[in-house]
Amino acid sequence: MSIIGWLLDAIVLLLLALIVYKQRWQKNMLEALDERLPRAISQHSQKSSIATTRQLEELLRLCLRLELQPGALPPTRGYAASPDFLNVLVDIVRERQPERVLELGSGVSSIVLGYLAEQHQAMAIFSIDHQEQYAEETRMRLSAAGVAGHVRVHVAPLREQTFFSERKLWYDWSRLPLDNEYDLIVVDGPPIDETGSKGREPVIELCGRALRVGGQVVFDDAYRPGEQSIIARLAEEHGYTVSERVAEKGCVVLTKHSTPLAQAPDQVASGQSPPP
Q: Using the rule CB under 6 A, which residue among 62, 102, 130, 172 binds ligand SAM?
A: 130
Q: Is 87 in the site for ligand SAM (CB under 6 A)?
A: no
Using CB positions, name the residue nearest to ligand SAM.
107
CB of 218 to ligand SAM, least distance (A): 11
In the complex with ligand SAM, which residue's Cβ is closer, 155 or 235?
Answer: 155
Site string (149-188) toward ligand SAM, x via CB under 6 A: ---------------------------------------x
Cβ distance to ligand SAM smaller for residue 79 or 164: 79
Q: How far is the CB of 202 from ligand SAM (least distance, A)?
A: 15
Distance in Å from the first CA to the final CA of the chain: 95
Q: Compute the least distance from the CB of residue 90 to ligand SAM, in Å.
A: 13
Single out the segment in contact with ligand SAM by CB under 6 A; choices: 3-11, 32-40, 74-82, 198-206.
Answer: 74-82
Q: Which of residues 181-200 bind ligand SAM (CB under 6 A)?
A: 188-189, 191
DSSP collapsed to 3 states, the chain? CCHHHHHHHHHHHHHHHHHHHHHHHHHHHHHHHHHHHHHHHHHHHHHHHHHHHHHHHHHHHHHHHHCCCCCCCCCCCCCCCCHHHHHHHHHHHHHHCCCEEEEECCCHHHHHHHHHHHHCCCCEEEEEECCHHHHHHHHHHHHHHCCHHHEEEEECCEEEEEECCEEEEEECHHHCCCCCCEEEEEECCCCHHHHCCCCCCCHHHHHHHHEEEEEEEEECCCCCHHHHHHHHHHHHHHCCEEEEECCCCCEEEEECCCCCCCCCCCCCCCCCCCCC
Asked whether position 131 contacts ligand SAM by CB under 6 A, the answer is yes
Closer by beta carbon to ligand SAM, 98 or else 189? 189
Nearest residue (CB) to ligand SAM, 102 versus 108 = 108
Query: Rule CB under 6 A: is residue 105 a binding residue for ligand SAM?
Result: yes
Interface positions with ligand SAM (CB under 6 A): 79-81, 105-109, 129-131, 134, 188-189, 191
